[in-house]
Amino acid sequence: MSVTSSSTITAEMLQNIIDDNRRSVNLLLEQYEKRIARLEEELREMRGRQAQNDRITPRTIVYQGGLYHGIVVNGVPEGMGALRSIDGDNKIYAGEWRNGKRHGKEKAYYDYCGDVLWFEGEWREGRAHSGTLFPDADWHGAKNPDGSPQYPVTPIRWQAGQKIPDTSLRPPYGTKLHKWLQDRGVSGYFPAGALWK
């Protein structure tokens, strides 16, 4: 059985179909372009938020021979953070950083017979600037049963431009403060001329 069609498409009708299809395509194209613009804007916002999160999200990195945990910008400490020994057991420094250098208010430690808080105060460009040496009155780290230092020392106020006092830490044995700081590896954190030779 064959089907015959008696309808004929005129040129005008064909033109109307083409025009309708063009309008539909143009409308879809306009909708897609708006959708693409919205998605591109969302992507820019997401990248901005991600960059901000990368800047303020604390991370742990190996830094200056230890483990640093805190804000990292361009691969170096920035803002608040703490540096510990590579095994994570001992405190080295806790405080503010700028461009990978100790800078601002903080505490610095060395390990001898436990963590010893050797400096608390202000740092500038990676060097101690002003504060207190041995604010816990302990230079050794060993403790008595009651928790007091076995080897006490009077806390020493100090600021850049002054020499570290030529103090004996353990009379009569003659352990000099400047030599002790050198032996603990922290003398490089003082400005030139601060330690006795």
pLDDT tens digits, the chain, 197 residues: what are they? 555 555 788 889 889 999 999 998 998 889 888 888 887 888 787 777 666 656 677 889 999 989 999 999 888 999 999 999 998 888 999 999 999 999 999 999 988 888 899 999 999 999 999 999 999 999 888 889 998 998 899 999 999 989 988 888 876 667 888 888 888 888 889 988 888 76
- Residue 22 within any structural domain of the chain: yes
122 contact partners, CB below 8 Å, separation of at least 6: 104, 105, 128, 129, 130, 131
Question: What is the pTM for the complete model shown?
Answer: 0.68
Q: Are residues 156 and 81 in the same domain?
A: yes
- Residue 140 within any structural domain of the chain: yes
- Residue 122 within any structural domain of the chain: yes
Host domain of residue 131: 60-189
Q: Are residues 53 and 65 in the same domain?
A: no
Q: Are residues 98 and 43 in the same domain?
A: no
Q: Are residues 51 and 143 in the same domain?
A: no
Strands (E), 86-150: 91-98, 101-111, 115-124, 127-133
